[in-house]
Structure 1
Amino acid sequence: MTNTLELDALWDEFHSVVNMTSQELSAWLQIQDAGEDTEPLPDQAGPVIGRHVLSILQKRRTDLTDEDVRVMYEVVDTVESERQEQGATGAADDTRRRHRLMNLGHDPLKAG
């Protein structure tokens, strides 16, 4: 696992880019997966990475696994990359992009 200073920085950065609460993310993942006639079980809704982000949001820093740390790096890198791309294209309200980021716990239209 990473050292304490690196983990502290990652923890802060992850919680900075993940601007949806665990309740908001959980609701979003369920809405995304709901079909016309069916609805997934709450713990099975949404993409795997979205469920993993939700699980991380519900943990204490001391309870993180190596896989949690890997996912946190992936989320931070993806959101930062999308932000740079958004800045270049100016497409803040692109629905597909927004939904893709919301699956990671980041709503680009949310203040903060």
Structure 2
Amino acid sequence: MSDDDQQTRADFADAVNMTASELRKWLDTDESKRVGQKSGGSTESTGHESGRHIVRILEKKQADYTDADYAHMRKVVGYVARHAKQRPKGDVHDTAWRYSLMNWGNDPEKH
């Protein structure tokens, strides 16, 4: 295991504050499915697809992480960091901004 992998796991743990079961339940909601960008004619948004990958990562043992898992963890860390800086003013509870972050495993209302 490299130091980079260790740092990636630590950063991912900081960025993703939802459990696998919380995220799986969220991904089943209409709100989750409505937000985010869809590409190439796909009916699923990039964030929703990401959320499904995050659930798989959270349910794995660290020893079973693949290079693709580490690459996705880095993508998640970057997305959460960028998107969190765009927080709108006021109550964010029922906003596309929060829902989008939640698709990526981060609930900004959870501490």
The answer to whether the superposition gives a TM-score over 0.5 is yes
2:85 aligns to what SS in structure 1? helix
Unaligned runs of 5+ in 2: 34-46
Q: Distance in 2 between matches of 1:69 and 1:13?
A: 11
Q: 1:91: Cα distance to partner?
A: 5.6
What value does the CA root-mean-square deviation take over the aligned residues?
A: 2.1
Q: Distance in 2 between matches of 1:61 and 1:4?
A: 13
Identical-pair percentage:
35
User: Deviating runs (4+, > 3 A) in structure 1?
Assistant: 89-92
* Structure 2 match to 1:20: 18
CA distance change for structure 1 residues 74 and 92 in 2, over 3 Å: closer, same or farther? farther
* Structure 2 match to 1:58: 59
Structure 1 residue 76 corresponds to structure 2 residue 77: yes
Aligned residue type for 2:81: E
Unaligned runs of 5+ in 1: 35-45
* Structure 1 match to 2:6: 8
Q: 1:22: Cα distance to partner?
A: 0.7
TM-score normalized by the length of structure 2: 0.76
Q: 1:56: Cα distance to partner?
A: 0.4
C-alpha contact (below 8 Å) 1:20/1:107 kept by paired residues: yes
Q: Distance in 2 between matches of 1:90 and 1:62?
A: 41
* Structure 2 match to 1:100: 100
